[in-house]
């Protein structure tokens, strides 16, 4: 864990230095210690790069923890916030808020409600199908995600192409370009509540991953605790969608990497997933704003990086799908 923390600190320093304008370590240190010595550099570092870095750390950690929790609760290695429909549901809620002309608070509220509705529909559909197996929940999530994507498509069709449509596209592709400290403060309560609940229940996550029968033997109230974990994970997912839009692969791949490093015990896997997710998305965001003149959407880079990583994990772990 100490090694991962050191890597995160190094990545933060690297992210502060790199971008369209590069600042050497000496320039960076000088600006951090004496901002008045270089007002332009101070503005770039403190008002543009620092909020993005904090946003990337929060989004990456939150998505990784949500993915880890979902995978344990549903005993499914393929479950992630994306597959269960939470991300698309939250994006649909955010798109609806944009069409209605709501501010940040209204967008957050509708994004959270959309995420809750999506995951409820996914679980309900899996129960209606009434077949056991890990793939049933995945298929139900794909169905609900498809419906939410169709809803987002409809909202894009009726949106104003000059003012509303670009904002909706922003939510779909994922970006931290518009993040500032006010955005971060606004969604911080959602992330804090979700994180606290998952950290408190992380031992129960390990038991729940062993199956309902084992959880009952341990005296765990399966229905109630599963509900708390789903709500907490949805808090995290909806909060990140409010901040950065949809960012794929983080919640799916990072928990598997954490398990490769420390095993299946959620008491260790959950916090490690948070640090790995924060490190991963910080690196991706730094690349997104540094590789080209125009900023690359986050989901494009996470897809290119996450796909080969997940293929390697499938081969390495021989993950069972049923």
Is the separation of the CB atoms in 269 and 255 below 8 Å? yes
185-210 pLDDT per residue, tens: 988 988 999 999 999 988 878 777 66
- Taking the model in full, what pTM does it have? 0.88
List, in order, residues 6 or more apart from 297 with CB less than 8 Å away. 173, 174, 175, 288
* Gap between the Cα atoms of 147 and 166, Å rounded: 21
Examine the pLDDT at 301 and tell me if it is beyond 90. Answer: yes
Can you give the pLDDT at residue 315? 80
Is the separation of the CB atoms in 260 and 313 below 8 Å? yes
Examine the pLDDT at 320 and tell me if it is beyond 70. Answer: no
* Gap between the Cα atoms of 290 and 89, Å rounded: 31
Share of the chain above pLDDT 90, in %: 32
List, in order, residues 6 or more apart from 114 with CB less than 8 Å away. 89, 90, 91, 92, 93, 94, 96, 148, 238
């Amino acid at each position: 864990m100490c090694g991962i923390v050191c890597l995160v600190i190094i990545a933060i320093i690297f992210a502060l230095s790199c971008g369209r304008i590069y600042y050497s370590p000496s320039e960076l240190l000088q600006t951090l210690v004496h901002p008045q010595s270089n007002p332009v550099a101070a503005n770039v570092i403190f008002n543009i790069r620092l909020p993005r870095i904090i946003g990337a750390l929060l989004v990456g950690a939150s998505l990784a923890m949500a993915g880890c929790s979902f995978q344990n609760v549903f005993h499914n290695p393929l479950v992630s916030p994306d597959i269960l429909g939470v991300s698309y549901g939250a994006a649909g809620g955010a798109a609806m808020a944009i069409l209605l002309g709501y501010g940040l608070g209204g967008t957050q509220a509708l994004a959270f409600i959309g995420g809750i509705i999506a995951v409820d529909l996914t679980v309900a559909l899996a129960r209606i199908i009434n077949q056991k197996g890990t793939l049933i929940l995945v298929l139900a999530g794909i169905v609900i995600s498809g419906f939410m994507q169709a809803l987002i498509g409809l909202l894009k069709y009726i949106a104003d192409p000059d003012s509303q449509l670009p904002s909706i596209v922003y939510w779909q592709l994922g970006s931290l370009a518009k993040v500032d400290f006010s955005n971060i403060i606004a969604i911080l309560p959602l992330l804090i509540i979700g994180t606290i609940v998952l950290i408190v229940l992380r031992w129960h996550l390990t038991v729940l991953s062993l199956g309902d029968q084992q959880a009952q033997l341990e005296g765990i109230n399966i229905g109630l605790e599963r509900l708390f974990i789903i709500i907490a994970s949805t808090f995290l997912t909806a909060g990140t969608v409010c901040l950065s839009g949809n960012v794929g692969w983080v919640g799916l791949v990072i928990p598997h990497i954490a398990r490769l490093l420390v095993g299946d015990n959620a008491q260790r896997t959950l916090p490690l997933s948070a640090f790995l997710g924060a490190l991963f998305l910080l690196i991706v965001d730094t690349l997104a704003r540094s590789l080209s003149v125009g900023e690359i959407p986050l989901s494009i880079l996470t897809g290119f990086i996450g796909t080969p990583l997940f293929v390697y994990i499938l081969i390495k772990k021989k993950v069972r799908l049923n």
